[in-house]
Amino acid sequence: MPTPSPEPTTSPPWTGGWHAGARHLASPNFGPRPAQARVDLIVVHSISLPPGEYGGHAVQDLFMNRLDWDAHPYFQGIRGLEVSAHFFIERDGTLWQFVDCDQRAWHAGASRYRGRGQCNDDSVGIELEGLEGQLFEPGQYDTLARLCADLALRYPIAHVAGHEHIAPGRKRDPGSGFDWPRLQHLLAWDRQQFPAGTLG
């Protein structure tokens, strides 16, 4: 079992809102946060393109607006979509960053959590390579926990939630295969920082 309370990176993990431990691709899909935004929420998502297929660079291409819409029949249903997340974690734990965390990524859509709407305004979006309802890899949890700990060094993080919790009925990711107790154990954060009902 991995050790609880992951240590933040020993060297300064941030250059502005860019994480030093990530591979960087600067997505054009972002905007400014509202002037008084308090970035206190981490939103966990899952994504794979096509759904259930891992590897390759389709997710990166989607966030960079360069996905070949004709490469797979599934892509026709999302043709023209312009979205982004701040981070993407591959199955082996490799970390990618697409948007400066000081900026607003386009990951949450219509959403509401902890009494506030428009969660894109004051959250950091993290996509895990995976499919809702299926399991995620140990390396993904390790990278996610380290990233959450590093985010808490720079921002007043008070909540971690899934897309399904901020957009219930509309979104279902990361889904039942995501192990919330495992993430809470790795971080050793207070139970109140996690969605109700996820820790048993």
User: For residue 16, how far is the Cα from the chain centroid?
Assistant: 19
Residue 135: C-alpha distances to residues 35, 126, 165, 173, 179 (Å)? 38, 16, 18, 12, 8
- Both structure tokens of 45: 């998502």
Task: Kindly calculate the radius of gyration of the chain based on its CA atoms and give it in whole angstroms.
Answer: 16
- Both structure tokens of 90: 């591959």
Query: Annotated catalytic sites, by residue?
Result: 127
Residue in the block written with tokens 């959403």: 111
Listed residue (160, 153, 120, 110) closest to 34, CA to CA: 120
Q: Report the distance separating Cα 106 and Cα 143, nearest Å.
A: 22
